[in-house]
Amino acid sequence: MPRDCEVAIIGGGIVGLMAALTLAERGVPVVVFEKGTLAGEQSSRNLGWVRKTGRELPDLPLAMESDRLWDIMPQRVGRDVGFRRTGILYCVRNEAQLAPHEAWLDAVGDHHLGSRLVSNAEIADLVPGGQEGWYGGIYTPSDGKAEPQLAASAIARAAMAKGAVIIEQCAVRGLSLAAGRVAAVVTERGELPCKVAILAGGVWSRRFLGNHDVSLPTLPVIASVLRTKPIVGPTDIAVGAPDFSFRKDHSGGFTITQRGGFIAPLALDSLLLARQFAPVLRKEWRQIRLSLGRHFLDDLALPRRWQPTGPSPFEKQRTINPDVSQTLNAEALTNLRAAWPVFQGRTGSA
Ligand SMILES: Cc1cc2nc3c(=O)[nH]c(=O)nc-3n(C[C@H](O)[C@H](O)[C@H](O)COP(=O)(O)OP(=O)(O)OC[C@H]3O[C@@H](n4cnc5c(N)ncnc54)[C@H](O)[C@@H]3O)c2cc1C
């Protein structure tokens, strides 16, 4: 552990690591603390879609900037992170499902994204071998993908090469304040004075801030993802349908998920934030499956208040590792196989 730093970053997921790289490139002394292993949570388990399609308008400038950053990432980090502009296609089954895509296209008209509506015949050209008669879809050729298992470690290595210090297995328990400003981060291995702290703690940020009397209104959802061995698939385009999605990864296998199903584990926060999240629940209720399971008790057992002198919840759970929902994965595979039979019997999961 260095004696001090300019910026302390709490969390070694892709957000914390990218912030570290950016600061290190600018010569700012920066230290990243990760309670478990780098990118051990969301950042190595996601689908890897780099998407502008369907972004809410306020998010669109960020998505476009992110797109530009992925483009130059190989030069920045000196490694392949799997970024390819293979396009993203969403297929829909009826007019009601197409309507939000039409509205979105109208709204983003002057951003030159190259997104366009496509017919069933065009979908058949783009992704051969399909069995469904799609009502239509939306296609953005300039969207793409990156490889979660390559990107975070490449970014971490590049940040370290530029002088960033990264410390794994070291939780930040809290902040030490002086005159209302952050003066240090308090870690399980002692205090590190800093001028600025960046909280990039993913699903843990709410608990971290709660101990400092700041309410960050976030609730977790769990998605399950299936990965296949290399197979000959129908396309390199990432394809999303209402009840499945798939995309080819760098090894030639496919990443498949049930787009129509997320598990929302009920916990104390679900009650505390119920009013704020009611509109989302009303809008997305078809996709969200509420679950009252092990998570409820595990969550209750984790402290919400602690002293920085003693162990924090972040040391008790180094890496959050929710159970895979075999039901959701099986649904996704069944729906995909019905739509593109080329996936029948050839997917042996990895
Ligand atoms: C199934 C799934 C699919 C997804 N698909 C996509 C996709 O296709 N495209 C896309 O753009 N996004 C996708 N996402 C979202 C994307 O993965 C996240 O937005 C991104 O990984 C968030 O990165 P992060 O660094 O903020 O958080 P995380 O990756 O969660 O990193 C936070 C880190 O902080 C550490 N930490 C927390 N508290 C402390 C502490 N007190 N001290 C030290 N360390 C701490 C944690 O251990 C963790 O490693 C998907 C997510 C999931 C779950």
CATH number of the structural domain spanning residue 16: 3.50.50.60
Tracing tokens 């960050």 back to the chain, one arrives at 216
Q: What is the pLDDT averaged over residues 9-35?
A: 98
Tell me: the pLDDT tens digits for 217-241? Answer: 999 999 999 999 999 999 999 999 9
Annotate 248-309 with three-state secondary structure.
ECCCCCEEEECCCCEEEECCHHHHHCHHHHHHHHHHHCCCEEEECCHHHHHHHHCCCCCCCC
In a domain, 90, yes or no: no
Provide the pLDDT confidence category of residue 342 given band limits of 50, 70 and 90. very high
| pLDDT at 121 (0 to 100) | 98
Q: What is the mean pLDDT of residues 110-120?
A: 93
Final residue belonging to a domain, choices 167, 191, 216 = 216
Distance 114 CA to ligand 1 centre (A): 29
Give the integer Cα–Cα distance in Å for 21 and 314: 24
14 lines ligand 1 (CB under 6 A): yes
**pLDDT tens track for 178-226:** 999 999 999 999 999 999 999 999 999 999 999 999 999 999 999 999 9
- Do residue 206 and residue 340 come from a single domain? no
Strand order in the sheet with 172-178: 172-178, 181-187, 190-193
Counting the structural domains of the chain, the total is 2
Q: Where is the domain boundary, 192, 216, 240?
A: 216
Is a pLDDT exceeding 70 seen at residue 30?
A: yes
Structure tokens at 312: 């924090």
Mean pLDDT of the 129-156 span: 96
Q: Are residues 202 and 245 in the same domain?
A: no
Q: Are residues 210 and 340 in the same domain?
A: no
Q: Looking at residue 347, what is its pLDDT? A: 56
Question: Tokens for 260?
Answer: 């129509």
Cα(179) to centroid(ligand 1), Å: 32
pLDDT at res. 245: 98
- The last residue of a domain, from among 175, 200, 216: 216
Whether 207 is in a domain gets the answer yes
Band (pLDDT 50/70/90 cuts) for residue 126 is: very high
Q: Is the pLDDT of residue 140 over 70?
A: yes
pTM of structure: 0.95
d(CA 184, CA 181): 9
pLDDT of 287 reads 87
Residue 32 has pLDDT above 50, yes or no: yes
The percent of residues in the chain predicted with pLDDT above 90, rounded, is: 89
Contacts 24+ apart (CB under 8 A), 288-292: 288/221, 288/262, 288/264, 289/261, 289/262, 289/263, 289/264, 290/264, 290/266, 291/263, 291/264, 291/265, 291/266, 292/265, 292/266
pLDDT > 70: percent of the chain: 99
Tell me the average pLDDT across 336-344.
95
Confidence of residue 71 (pLDDT cuts 50, 70, 90): very high
Cβ atoms 54, 206 nearer than 8 A = no
Say what the pLDDT of residue 350 is: 41
Query: Count of H helices and E strands in the chain?
Result: 12, 18
235 and 334 share one domain:
yes
Q: Which two tokens stand for residue 47?
A: 């689908």
For 274-329, write each residue's pLDDT tens digit. 999 999 889 888 888 888 888 888 899 999 999 999 899 999 999 999 989 999 99
* pLDDT of 98 higher than 60: yes
Atom 9 of ligand 1, residue of closest alpha carbon: 49
Ligand 1 contacts CB of residue 220 (under 6 A) = no
**CA of 50 relative to ligand 1 center, distance in Å:** 15
Radius of gyration of the chain (CA): 22
Q: Ligand 1: which atom is nearest the Cα of residue 312?
A: 41
For ligand 1, say whether the CB of 144 is within 6 Å of any of its atoms: no
Q: How confident is the model at residue 346 (pLDDT cuts 50, 70, 90)?
A: low
Residue 313: which domain range?
A: 218-350
Q: 199 and 266 share a domain?
A: no
